[in-house]
Amino acid sequence: MNSVPTGIKISVSGIVQGVGFRPFVYATATRLQLTGSVWNSSKGVEIELFGHQHQLDQFLTDLKTQLPILARIDHIETNTIPHQELSGFSIKDSQAEEGQFLPVSPDMSICSDCLQELFDTKNRRYRYPFINCTNCGPRFSIIKNIPYDRPLTTMAKFKLCPSCQAEYDNPLDRRFHAQPVACADCGPRMQFIVQGEIIGKFEGAITTARQFIEDGKIIAIKGLGGYHLACDASNEEVVQKLRERKKRSDRPFALMGFDLETIRKFCEVNDAETAILQSPQHPIVLLPKKDDCSLPEALAPTQNHLGFMLPYTPLHYLLLESDEGFPEVLVMTSGNLSDEPIAYEDEDARIRLSEIADGFLVHNRPIHMRVDDSVVRLVEQKPYFLRRSRGYAPDPIVLNNEIPQMLACGAELKNTFCLSRGHYAFLSHHIGDLENYETLSSFENG
């Protein structure tokens, strides 16, 4: 085609950082033989593109229709700019601007590619409990500030090894600028601690934790957004013990089943429930108990539903791996005393949970923001949130009109708050009941 080359500047806002958006732009522009550059700003992502009009039109179509799974575009602005003769397409450094803000991606469950690598004996991250990529893994819980760059996350203290660095720098790699990228050589590590003493490290930490669970003990597990308390869900005695120690009179415990098939042994699961259990958010879903459900009544006294979730981190997959004699369903309830917020800082967890847990399965990646598991119930195929937190917070609700900045403080019980800015209403993660000092502090920090 003999048209005159031209240029456009595209400004994109929405969830466009930390989700593989720039590599996607790079790959799309390169495929369409366009030149220019892309960079993160405090508002989102900026793109300058040069080429023929039909190529630019195709780019805009692909931009909207072939997005990476975790990305979401809320607004696109395009302006024509003078053509520049460039030799290729490049990804430039982030540019922060004062007074701007940007939605941060929620924490997402492990993706199918990472899961496949986790159990691939030939992969260099074989059985590494912190495997992640731009399509999955921790985000909100590790971000200290924006723009979303490794030095501003709790991964800053882990220096990338040459192999991880090469993946991080390669725009065509699934781990290009994946801020939490790590491997066994350079990343976070597991430990199993009993009464202040380390009794297992690395894979041995997980093996010991599994042994404790099999032996009917209660363990505290440091996860993505906080600590869980875990035990064998089929062992009535330990479930009762957990209830007594947690001072949780009759509230239901959340459960984790290794896979969908396992959950189906105990609960009815329809297609809509299957879809949400397996969604990138992996919330707890309330499911009707089967008449012949063999799990103890003590898990959820007087309830005809059980709250189930699937493993959502690589650590969960290693912890729940099926093996003869190992329970197929675990209690995975928030690491707290009844009504307090979930523990997420190591020292605090050791103090608050020491009376409850017989051992601690921990790691050295700090959690910056506590994030509880989300809880969803489907009514007529539609999800209703009982708790909107991990996987969803801090994803804002996009409003039709811009509104003034406002803070809505929420109620005393089951508190969440909401902050509005421009076209966004940011709902906080689940805070809890404010009558409690711990919870009130969490509200103030949030």
Q: Which is nearer to Zn ion, 69 or 408 (CB)?
A: 69
The full DSSP string for 242-285 is HHHHHT--SPPPPEEESSHHHHHHHB---HHHHHHHTSTT--EE
Minimum Å gap between C-beta 318 and Zn ion is 15
Q: Tell me the three state secondary structure of residue 88.
A: coil
Is the CB of 187 or the CB of 396 nearer to Zn ion?
A: 187
For residue 54, CA distances in Å to 9, 10, 239, 278 come to: 16, 16, 64, 39
Candidate residues 32, 111, 298, 320; the one interacting with Zn ion per rule CB under 5 A: 111
- Which CB atom, from 134 or from 208, has the smaller least distance to Zn ion? 134
Find out whether 241 and 227 touch, Cβ atoms under 8 Å. no
Closer residue to Zn ion (CB): 129 or 335:
129
DSSP per position, 313-376: SHHHHHHH---TTS-SEEEEEESSSTTSPPP-SHHHHHHHHTTT-SEEEEESS--SS--PPPEE
Sheet holding 305-309, edge to edge: 197-201, 190-194, 359-363, 219-222, 227-232, 329-334, 255-257, 305-309, 284-288, 375-379, 382-387
- The smaller minimum CB distance to Zn ion, of residues 139 and 388, is found at 139
Question: At closest approach, how far in Å is the CB of 379 from Zn ion?
Answer: 32
Q: Which residue among 32, 49, 136, 285 contacts Zn ion (CB under 5 A)? A: 136
Q: Considering the complex, what minimum distance in angstroms separates the CB of residue 184 from Zn ion?
A: 8
Per rule CB under 5 A, count of chain residues that contact Zn ion: 10
Shortest Cβ 207–Zn ion spacing (Å): 23
Indicate whether 420 belongs to the interface with Zn ion (CB under 5 A): no
What is the smallest separation between the CB atom of 232 and Zn ion, expressed in angstroms?
29
Contacting residue, 133, 190, 229, 320, with Zn ion by CB under 5 A: 133
d(CA 25, CA 124): 28
Q: Is 169 left (phi over 0), alpha (psi -120 to 50) or beta?
A: alpha
Out of 70, 114, 310, 362, which residue is the one contacting Zn ion (CB under 5 A)? Answer: 114
Q: Minimal distance in Å, beta carbon 16 to Zn ion?
A: 18
For Zn ion, the closer CB: 182 or 285:
182
Which residue among 13, 35, 55, 135 contacts Zn ion (CB under 5 A)?
135
| Least distance to Zn ion, CB of residue 162, Å | 8
Q: β-strands 35-40, 45-51: how paired? A: antiparallel
Cα–Cα distance between 90 and 267 in angstroms, integer? 51
Q: Tell me the closest approach of the beta carbon of residue 125 to Zn ion, in angstroms.
A: 9
Residues 174-193 that bind Zn ion (CB under 5 A): 183, 185-186
Which C-beta is closer to Zn ion: that of 164 or that of 306?
164
Residue span binding Zn ion (CB under 5 A) among the ranges 21-29, 111-119, 302-310, 360-368: 111-119
Q: Nearer Cβ to Zn ion, position 2 or 112?
A: 112
- Distance, CA of 412 to CA of 122 (rounded, Å): 52
- Please say which residue, 173 or 433, places its beta carbon nearer to Zn ion: 173
Tell me how far, at minimum, the Cβ of 260 lies from Zn ion, in Å: 20
Q: Residue 336, Cβ neighbours under 10 Å: how many? A: 27
Q: How far is the CB of 165 from Zn ion (least distance, A)?
A: 8
Helix (H, G, I), strand (E, B) or coil at 204: helix
Site string for Zn ion, 37-66 (x = CB under 5 A): ------------------------------
Closest CA to 429 of 306, 219, 281, 317: 281
Using alpha carbons, select from 196, 204, 205, 222 the residue that is nearest to residue 354: 196
Asked if residue 396 lies in contact with residue 103, where contact means CB atoms within 8 angstroms, the answer is yes
The answer to whether 164 contacts Zn ion (rule: CB under 5 A) is yes
135 versus 420: smaller Cβ distance to Zn ion: 135
The residue ranges that bind Zn ion (CB under 5 A) are: 111, 114, 133, 135-136, 161, 164, 183, 185-186
